[in-house]
């Protein structure tokens, strides 16, 4: 389901958080919940979401973001401790349509990985940026931070 307008009333993650839609819950508390995605890369692929409707990172309260990260880290650590679950783990968050966000309620993927599982998260540029270009971008970003 895609919620382009960010409306909480139509948001499938809000419906899961309220219990109106079914989900395979892994962990839940008053602020965040984690559940298995219905489109997993591998078994154990979890989504960690805030209970309140937040479209993207710019609107995510710091404490809620910290709670999401803490839960994702705990799940990832559990997945890494048992080779039956994974050889590795990716944490992935898409913020905005251009980044591939399809459900407009911020969510953090915890993706168990195995060698050869077919998922590719790479940039195969033929011409990587020069050190000068990287330094220029870093200077520009430093200036923009905290505005």
- The closest of 16, 52, 18, 50 to 36, measured between CA atoms, is 16
Active site (annotated) includes residue 107: yes
- Catalytic residue among 107, 109, 126, 127, which? 107
- State whether the Cα torsion 70-13-29-55 is positive or negative: positive
Angle of CA points 41, 64, 66, to nearest 5°: 75
Angstrom distances, CA of residue 16 to CA of 4, 45, 65: 18, 16, 19
Catalytic positions are 107
């Amino acid at each position: 389901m895609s919620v382009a307008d960010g409306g909480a009333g139509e948001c499938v993650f809000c419906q899961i958080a309220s219990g109106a839609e079914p989900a395979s819950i892994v962990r839940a508390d008053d602020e965040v919940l984690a559940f298995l995605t219905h489109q997993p890369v591998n078994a154990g692929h979890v989504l960690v979401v805030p209970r309140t409707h937040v479209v993207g990172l710019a609107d995510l309260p710091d404490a809620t973001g910290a709670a999401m990260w803490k839960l994702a880290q705990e799940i990832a650590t559990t997945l890494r401790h048992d080779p039956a679950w994974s050889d590795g783990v990716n944490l992935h968050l898409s913020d905005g349509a251009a980044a591939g966000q399809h459900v407009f309620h911020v969510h953090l993927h915890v993706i168990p990985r195995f060698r050869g599982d077919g998922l590719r998260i790479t940039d195969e540029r033929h011409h990587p940026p020069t050190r000068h270009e990287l330094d220029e971008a870093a200077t520009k970003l430093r200036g923009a931070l905290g505005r």
